[in-house]
Amino acid sequence: RKEVEQDPGPFNVPEGATVAFNCTYSNSASQSFFWYRQDCRKEPKLLMSVYSSGNEDGRFTAQLNRASQYISLLIRDSKLSDSATYLCVVKGSSNTGKLIFGQGTTLQVKP
């Protein structure tokens, strides 16, 4: 079983739709949680950090449920430019800071 699991999709949605991605992680000692975005043939870039209290950045809302070891990302009012792969990322319990990545969920927003 992978340490971070995501539905790879693809999710095909029309512009303006609301879409939600989910992710589960297996190591209950994990410390930090993130969503990264990766465009085709580009490097991953941080989209947002994820906190138990939930955090919102414009159209994006991230949520962490430590009890269920579950992370979510909600995108409202999807834009064509949101088309990308969204990576669920966990910083492990070791003190090395290495990141553990999910396989990624592909989103395609269509006109």
Partner 1 sequence: GAGVSQSPSNKVTEKGKDVELRCDPISGHTALYWYRQSLGQGLEFLIYFQGNSAPDKSGLPSDRFSAERTGGSVSTLTIQRTQQEDSAVYLCAKEGQHEQFFGPGTRLTVL
Chain residues binding partner 1 by CB under 8 A are: 2, 4, 34, 42-46, 49, 87, 94, 96-104
Tell the smallest beta-carbon distance from residue 78 to partner 1 (Å): 23
In degrees, to the nearest 5, what angle opens at C-alpha 82 toward C-alphas 111 and 17? 55
> Which residue is it, tokens 């029309």?
14
Reduced to 3 states, what is the DSSP secondary structure of residue 20?
A: strand
Tell the smallest beta-carbon distance from residue 49 to partner 1 (Å): 7
State the Cα–Cα distance between residues 106 and 8, nearest whole angstrom: 6
Whose Cβ is closer to partner 1: residue 67's or residue 98's? 98
State the Cα–Cα distance between residues 32 and 97, nearest whole angstrom: 10
Whose Cβ is closer to partner 1: residue 74's or residue 99's? 99
Whose Cβ is closer to partner 1: residue 16's or residue 54's? 54
Tell the smallest beta-carbon distance from residue 102 to partner 1 (Å): 6
